[in-house]
Amino acid sequence: MKFASPLENHVLFSIGPVPISQPVVTTWGIMALLTLGSWLITRRLALRPSRPQAALELLVTTIAGQIRETMEAEPRPYLPLIGTLFVFLLVANWASLVPGVEPPTATLETDAALALIVFGATIWFGVRALGARGYLRSFAQPSIVMVPLNLVELFTRSFSLMVRLFGNVMSGVFMIGVILSLAGLLVPIPLMALEMLTGAVQAYIFSALAMVFIGSALSEATDTHQTLKPETSS
C-alpha cells in the first residue's frame, strides 16, 4: 500500500498565484471556530457565570498561574500570546478526530509558522524589556566570546520547537491511519483516545517552552541591566 508523504500538502484551490492547501483551509476553519466561540462566550459576561464562561475563566486563570510560576512575571502582558497558542494547538491537534480532517500541526509549514511566532515574541519582549541596544548586549553575557553560541541557540530553540511538534503530531496521525487501513474502524479507538492525550500534552509542552524562551529573554535582560547599572552609576 502506498502512503502519501507527510511533507506533501494537497492543494485545494488557488488565489491568484498563491496555492491554498488543505492545512491552510483547516487552520482558517479553526481560527473561525475559536473566534466565534470566544465571541459567543464573552458577549454576555455575568457575575454568576454560565458553564461555558466558568470553563473559560478556569482556563484563563490556569494559564495565568502557569505563566506566573514559569516566567516569574506578571502574566497580563503574555497571557494573550500564550493562551492563544495553547488553545489553538489543542484544537488543531484534536482536529484529527474529525473524519477526513488532518491536523494542521502535522505539517511543517504550520509548525514553522508557530515557531516563528515564538521566535519573534522572544525578541520583541526582550527588546521591550531592555531596549534594542541592551538586548543585543545580552548576547555577550557572560563574555563576548559567547555571542556566536547565544545567537545559534536563539535559532536552534525555535527549530527544535518546530521539529518536536511536527514529529509528535504527524507520527500519531500516521500510526492511526495505518492501523485504520489494516484493522478496521473499531481497533483504533483506544489509540484515538491516546492521541487526544498526546495532543493536549503537546499543546502544553509547546506553550510551556514558549514561556521558558520568553522568560529566558526577560531574565537575560534583567541580568544585563544589573551588570550595566554599576558601570552607569560609576
pLDDT of residue 194: 75
**All three cell numbers of 198:** 498526546
Q: Are strands 18-21 and 11-15 parallel, antiparallel or unpaired?
A: antiparallel
188-229 pLDDT, tens digit each? 567 677 778 888 888 999 999 999 999 888 876 555 455 545
Question: Which residues, including other chains, have CB under 8 Å from residue 63's CB and lie 6 or more apart?
Answer: 75, 79, 82, 83, 86, 207
pLDDT of residue 64: 94
Q: Report the 3 state secondary structure along 178-195.
A: HHHHHHCCCCCHHHHHHH
Dihedral sign from CA coordinates of 49, 50, 56, 59: positive
Residue 118 has pLDDT above 90, yes or no: yes
| Burial class of 218 by CB neighbour count within 10 A (0 to 12, 13 to 18, 19+) | buried
162-191 pLDDT, tens digit each? 888 888 787 766 666 666 666 655 555 676
40-60 pLDDT, tens digit each? 988 888 888 889 889 999 999
Radius of gyration of the chain measured on its C-alpha atoms: 21
* Consecutive H or E run containing 56: helix 51-71
Q: What is the mean pLDDT of residues 132-152?
A: 81
Please check whether residue 185 is in contact with residue 192, taking contact to mean a CB–CB distance below 8 angstroms: no
CA–CA gap between residue 138 and residue 119 (Å, rounded): 16
Please check whether residue 7 is in contact with residue 108, taking contact to mean a CB–CB distance below 8 angstroms: yes
CA angle 13, 17, 23 (to 5 degrees): 40
Please check whether residue 161 is in contact with residue 89, taking contact to mean a CB–CB distance below 8 angstroms: no
Q: What is the mean pLDDT of residues 138-159?
A: 82
- Place 3 in a pLDDT band, splitting at 50, 70 and 90: very low
DSSP 17: T
> Which of 3-7, 17-21, 29-33, 56-60 shows the lowest per-residue confidence on average (mean pLDDT)?
3-7
CA–CA gap between residue 99 and residue 204 (Å, rounded): 24
Name which of 194, 1, 27 is nearest 106 in CA terms.
27
- Place 121 in a pLDDT band, splitting at 50, 70 and 90: very high
pTM exceeds 0.85 for this model: no
